[in-house]
C-alpha cells in the first residue's frame, strides 16, 4: 500500500514538476544572458577570445542555476523521506533523477535559428547538473559553500536533525484535536490490562482474594476509560483499529469482568478467546498504527506495549 502511495506521488511529481522545470529553464536562460552578451560581442567583432570567454561564462552561470535546482530536488526528497519513513522512496528517487536534469534536456531540444552562448553551453551544463545531483545525494556537505541558501539544504546534510525534532505535548494535543482523548484512553487501557496480567501472575503467596479484587478494579477502570474511546476516530486513523479494539479487547474485558464476579471458567475461556484474537491483530498491525500516529500527530509511541495478553491465561 505504501509503495502504491509512493508511486502515486511519483506520477504527481512528474506532472506538477513540469511547472518547476519551466521556471528552471527560464531562470537558467536569465543566468546565462549577461555572459551571452560577451559571446555575441565576440561573434560580431570576430574576436575568438571574447567568444570563448562568453561561452565559458554562460556555461558557468547556467550550470550554477541548474545545479541549484538539482540540489533543491534532492533536499525536498530528503526532508520528505525523513518525515515519512514508512513510505518507500525508490520511485521518488527515479522522479528526482529525471527532474534534476529535465530543464537542461528540454532546452537542448530547442533549435534556434542563430544559436546563442546559452545553447552552445548546454551539453556542459547537463553534465554539471548530473555531477551536482550525485554530489547532493552522496556527499551534500561538499556543496555547502555554494548552495547553503537552497531551501531544506540543512535537512539534506543533517537529516537526523529533522528526525530529532520532537513536538511538545501541547503541539501533539493540538495536532490530534478531537482524536487525542481516544488515543490516550486506548493506550491507558492497554496499560491497565498489562497491570491485570502482572497482578494475576505475580507473587503466588499473595492473598487470592486481593488479586481478584485488584483485577476487578482494573477491569472497571478499563470499562470506565473506554467511554472516551471513539471507534470511528480510531478507524479513521488506521483501518479497523477501533473496530478490533471494541469487538475483541473491550469485549474480552467485559467478559473477564463478568467472570471475575461469578468466578466462571466459561467466561474466563471466552475472554481468553477474545484477547487472543485481539493480540493477533495488534501484533500484526501495531507498527503501522504507531507510524500513522507519529506521521499525523507526532506521537512518540514506540515505548508503548506492542502486545496485550489475556490476564486470565
Q: What does the alpha-carbon distance between residue 28 and residue 128 come to, in Å, rounded to a whole number?
A: 13
State whether 185 and 86 are in the same domain: no
Our measurement of the distance from residue 243's CA atom to the centroid of its chain's CA atoms, rounded to an integer in Å, reads: 26
Q: Percentage of the chain surpassing pLDDT 70?
A: 69
Buried residues in 103-115 as b, exposed as e (16+ CB within 10 A) = bbeebeeeeeeee
Q: What does the alpha-carbon distance between residue 201 and residue 190 come to, in Å, rounded to a whole number?
A: 17
Q: What does the alpha-carbon distance between residue 251 and residue 182 come to, in Å, rounded to a whole number?
A: 17
60-71 pLDDT per residue, tens: 877 888 888 888
- For residue 83, give its domain range: 2-164
Q: What does the alpha-carbon distance between residue 294 and residue 300 come to, in Å, rounded to a whole number?
A: 6
C-alpha cell at 242: 477501533
State whether 132 and 246 are in the same domain: no
State whether 109 and 194 are in the same domain: no
State whether 56 and 15 are in the same domain: yes
DSSP one-letter string for 63-114: HHHHHHHHHHHHHHHHHHHHH-TTS--HHHHHHHHHHHHHHHHHHHT---SS
Query: Do 215 and 260 touch, CB atoms closer than 8 A?
Result: yes
Query: Is 304 inside any structural domain?
Result: no
State whether 37 and 95 are in the same domain: yes
Of 67-76, 117-126, 299-308, the one with minimum mean pLDDT is: 299-308
Q: What does the alpha-carbon distance between residue 83 and residue 9 come to, in Å, rounded to a whole number?
A: 15
State whether 136 and 215 are in the same domain: no
1-19 pLDDT per residue, tens: 445 554 455 545 544 554 5
Greater model confidence, 144 or 85: 144
Q: What does the alpha-carbon distance between residue 280 and residue 284 come to, in Å, rounded to a whole number?
A: 6
Of 72-81, 82-91, 123-132, 273-282, the one with minimum mean pLDDT is: 82-91
CA separation (Å) from 44 to 39, 41, 48, 50, 117? 9, 5, 10, 10, 13
With cell 556555461, the residue in question is 59
> Predicted confidence band at 304 (pLDDT cuts at 50, 70, 90)?
very low
| pTM check: above 0.85 | no
State whether 158 and 176 are in the same domain: no
State whether 288 and 188 are in the same domain: yes
Residue 271, pLDDT above cutoff 90:
yes
Query: Is 284 inside any structural domain?
Result: yes
Query: Is 175 inside any structural domain?
Result: yes
C-alpha cell at 240: 479497523
C-alpha cell at 189: 487501557
State whether 30 and 51 are in the same domain: yes
Amino acid at each position: 500500500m505504501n509503495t502504491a502511495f509512493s508511486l502515486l506521488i511519483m506520477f504527481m511529481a512528474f506532472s506538477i514538476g513540469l511547472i518547476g522545470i519551466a521556471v528552471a529553464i527560464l531562470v537558467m536562460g536569465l543566468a546565462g544572458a549577461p555572459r551571452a552578451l560577451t559571446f555575441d560581442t565576440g561573434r560580431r567583432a570576430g574576436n575568438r577570445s571574447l567568444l570563448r570567454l562568453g561561452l565559458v561564462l554562460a556555461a558557468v552561470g547556467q550550470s550554477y542555476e541548474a545545479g541549484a535546482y538539482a540540489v533543491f530536488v534532492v533536499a525536498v526528497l530528503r526532508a520528505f523521506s525523513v518525515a515519512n519513513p514508512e513510505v518507500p522512496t525508490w520511485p521518488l528517487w527515479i522522479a528526482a533523477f529525471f527532474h534534476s536534469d529535465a530543464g537542461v534536456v528540454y532546452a537542448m531540444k530547442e533549435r534556434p535559428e542563430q544559436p546563442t552562448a546559452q545553447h552552445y553551453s548546454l551539453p556542459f551544463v547537463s553534465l554539471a547538473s548530473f555531477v551536482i545531483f550525485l554530489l547532493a545525494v552522496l556527499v551534500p556537505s561538499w556543496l555547502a559553500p555554494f548552495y547553503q541558501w537552497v531551501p531544506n539544504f540543512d535537512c539534506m546534510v543533517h537529516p537526523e536533525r529533522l528526525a530529532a525534532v520532537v513536538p511538545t505535548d501541547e503541539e501533539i494535543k493540538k495536532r490530534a484535536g478531537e482524536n487525542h482523548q481516544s488515543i490516550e484512553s486506548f493506550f491507558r487501557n492497554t496499560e491497565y490490562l498489562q497491570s491485570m496480567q502482572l497482578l494475576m501472575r505475580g507473587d503466588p503467596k499473595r492473598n487470592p482474594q486481593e488479586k481478584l479484587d485488584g483485577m476487578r478494579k482494573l477491569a472497571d477502570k478499563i470499562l470506565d476509560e473506554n467511554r472516551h474511546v471513539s471507534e470511528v476516530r480510531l478507524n479513521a486513523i488506521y483501518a479497523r483499529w477501533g473496530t478490533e479494539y471494541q469487538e475483541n479487547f473491550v469485549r474480552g474485558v467485559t467478559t473477564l469482568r463478568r467472570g471475575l464476579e461469578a468466578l466462571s471458567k466459561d467466561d474466563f475461556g471466552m475472554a481468553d478467546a477474545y484477547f487472543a484474537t485481539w493480540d493477533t491483530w495488534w501484533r500484526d498491525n501495531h507498527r503501522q498504527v504507531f507510524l500513522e500516529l507519529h506521521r499525523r500527530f507526532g506521537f512518540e509511541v514506540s515505548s508503548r506495549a506492542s502486545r496485550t495478553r489475556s490476564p486470565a491465561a
